[in-house]
A and B are shown apart, each in its own frame.
Chain A
Amino acid sequence: MYNSIESDEILIGRVKNGDCEAFNPLVERYKLALYKLMYRMVYNRDDAEDLVEEAFIRAYRSISRFEIGRPFYAWICRIAVNNAINFLKKEKRTQTQPLAWVEHRLVSVKQNPVRLTKEKLLRERISAAMAKLSQDYRTILVLRINDELSYDEISKILKIPRGTVMSRLARARQKLKEIFKEMEVYKNEV
C-alpha cells in the first residue's frame, strides 16, 4: 500500500523498478490539477477527463525516461499539454469547440440572467473571453497563471525558447485585455 506522504521520487523509483501499483498515488495526487489544465485547454469536460487518463497512461509508459530529481508535475504536464495540442489539431477543435462553448454559455447567460450570481456571471465571461484566445495564447496563460509554472518549465513543456515564452505571454496578455474590453468583462466586475 502507498500513502499520500510518500514523495513523488520514491513512488517513481518504485514504478521504475516494476512496481506499477506505486503509480496509483501519483494519479490520485495530480488528477485534479491535470483535469483543470486540460479543461482550460479544451473547454469540454468529457474530453478533458479522457485527456487526463491518456496523459497518465503515456506517462507510465515513458516512466523509464523520467529523470528522478526533476519535478514530476512539470513532466506530466508536458505529456498532457502535447497530447491535448495534438488532440485539438486532430479534432480541428482549435476554433470550433471553444467558440461553440462560448456561444452556449453566453446564450445561457442571456436566457437565465437571474439564475446567475454576479460573481458567477463574471467567471463565465472570463472563461468565454479566454476561449476566444488562440490555442497558443490560451495554453501559455494557463500554464503560467493557473499552474504557476516558471518560464523555464513552460519552455520545456512547449518546446520553445525561454525568450519566446516571455514574448508570447506578453502578447497573450495584451490580446486578452483587448478581448476583455470588447466583451465588457470589466463592467461585470463584482
Chain B
Amino acid sequence: MKCDIPIELLSGYLDGELDEKQKKAFEKHLKECQSCQNELEELKLLDGYIKVQEIEEPSREFIFGVNRRVMEKIKKKRRSFVIRFTPIFAPVAVALLVLVVVINTIPQKRFVGVDSRILYAEIKDEEEVELHKAKAYMPRAAVAKEKISEEGKGVLAGQEILAVSEVVKKLDVVEEAVITDFEVSMDQLAIPRDRIVRAIVDSTGKVLKVATGNTIIPEKDTMLENRLEGQQLSPPTIAGRRAQIYVDISPTKENNH
C-alpha cells in the first residue's frame, strides 16, 4: 500500500537534514511502513546512480594550463583596475561618515555607492568596456545588497537602484583608492539627530539629491530635501580628482550626545 508521507520527508531524511524531532518521528514510522522502506531504498539507489554518471575528462590544456591563465588574467586586472574605497570619517568637528559614488571620465557612467566603500571605475581595456555596459548607473547601499533579492530594484532619490547582479558586476572592476578633501559641517546641514540621510554631491560641492531612511528604498522627506538640495559644500575630490559622490551625511553617534 502506498504511504502518504510527503516525499520531502523521505528525501530530507536521506540527506540527514531533518531536525531531531522530525527524524525520530519519521524513524518510528519507517519501522512500521514497508512502502516508505522501499521508497527510501529506491532513493538511495537513485543517489548512487547520480554519483556515477559519466563525466568527460577535462582537457590536458585545462589541467596544466588553467592556473597559468587565471593568474595571468588576475595580474592583468590588477594593473588595469581602478578604485575601491573604505569608509572615511571626517574630522571630529565634522564627524561624518563618507560613502560612495563617483562619476568617471565617460559621461553617462556614474558609480556605485556602498555603505562602507566608495566605488569608481574607469575603462581600461576591451574586457572592461564590456563590463561597463552593465546598467550600473545608480548608487545603492552595500548593506542593502544583502537585503534585496537578486531581481530587486528600488528607488533612491528618484533614480533606479541597481539589482544585486549589476552591483556585483560593478564591484568586480574596482580597486582601492583614497578619498580626500570632503568636509560637511553638521551645523551647516542641520540634519535632525535621529535621521539617516544620504546625498549626491556633485564635483563642485553642490547637493543634488537627498534621500533619508536606512532601507534600500529611502523615505522621501520633502522638507529636508528643500533645505539641503542646492547647499554648497566643499568640492569632493577622490585621489586628487574632482568627483561626484554619493555620501552618507547622517549625524554620528558622537553628535547625538
Contact = CB atoms under 8 A, between A and B. Distances in A.
Interface stretch (A6-14, A24-32, A90-98): A24-32
Given A20-B78, A31-B66, A45 B46 contact: no
B84 to A, nearest CB: 7
A167 B10 CA distance: 11
Nearest to A23: B74
What does DSSP make chain A's interface, helix, strand, loop or mixed? helix
B50 interface: yes
Given A20-B71, A170-B7, A65 B171 contact: yes
Given A49-B62, A58-B172, A166-B12, A124 B46 contact: no
Interface residues of B, number: 43
Contacts of A62: 168, 171-172
A120 B56 CA distance: 12
Given A169-B11, A176-B50, A53 B75 contact: no
B173 A61 contact: yes
A142 B55 CA distance: 12
Contacts, number: 125
Interface in B65-117: 66-67, 69-71, 73-75, 77-78, 84
A145 B58 contact: no
Interface size class of chain A, counting residues whose CB lies under 8 Å from the partner chain: 35 or more
Contact of B77 (A61, A86, A127, A150): A61
Given A49-B59, A123-B54, A169 B15 contact: yes
Contacts of B11: 166, 169-170, 173
Contacts of A56: 66, 70
Contacts of B75: 20
Interface in B1-57: 6-8, 10-12, 15, 17, 42-43, 46-47, 49-57
Nearest to A64: B84
B131 to A, nearest CB: 10
Given A20-B78, A24-B71, A126 B58 contact: no
B66 A173 contact: no
Contacts of B171: 61-62, 65
Nearest to B81: A61
Contacts of A177: 42, 46
A105 B171 CA distance: 41
Contacts of B56: 39, 45
B181 interface: no
A150 to B, nearest CB: 7
A42 to B, nearest CB: 11
Given A24-B67, A36-B55, A169-B11, A126 B50 contact: yes
B221 interface: no
Interface string A142-173: 10111000110000000100000011011101
A48 B73 CA distance: 18
A45 B59 contact: yes
What 7 A-B pairs have minimum CB-CB distances, sorted nearest first?
Answer: A170-B11, A123-B54, A127-B53, A170-B7, A126-B53, A170-B8, A127-B54
